[in-house]
Amino acid sequence: MAYEPGVVPNDPAELPGFLRQELDKLSRAFYGPQKIVWLDELNVAPTKPRNGMVVFADGTNFKPNGVGARGMWRYDGNTAAYVSLG
Alpha-carbon gap, residue 66 to 59, rounded angstroms: 9
Give the residue numbers spanning the domain of 31.
1-35
| Cα→Cα distances 24→9, 19, 33, 74, Å | 17, 9, 14, 33
How many separate domains does the chain show? Answer: 2
Same domain assignment for residues 49 and 31:
no
Let me know whether 58 and 75 are in one domain.
yes
Same-domain check for residues 9 and 26: yes
Query: Do both 14 and 45 map to the same domain?
Result: no
Q: Are residues 48 and 68 in the same domain?
A: yes
Residue type, 23: L
Q: Running along the chain, 86 residues long, what does each successive block of 10 average in pLDDT? A: 88 96 89 75 87 87 76 83 71
One domain for residues 64 and 50: yes
Q: Which long-range contacts (CB under 8 A, 24 or more apart) does 10-14 make?
A: none
pTM of the model: 0.52
Residues 29 and 46 in one domain: no
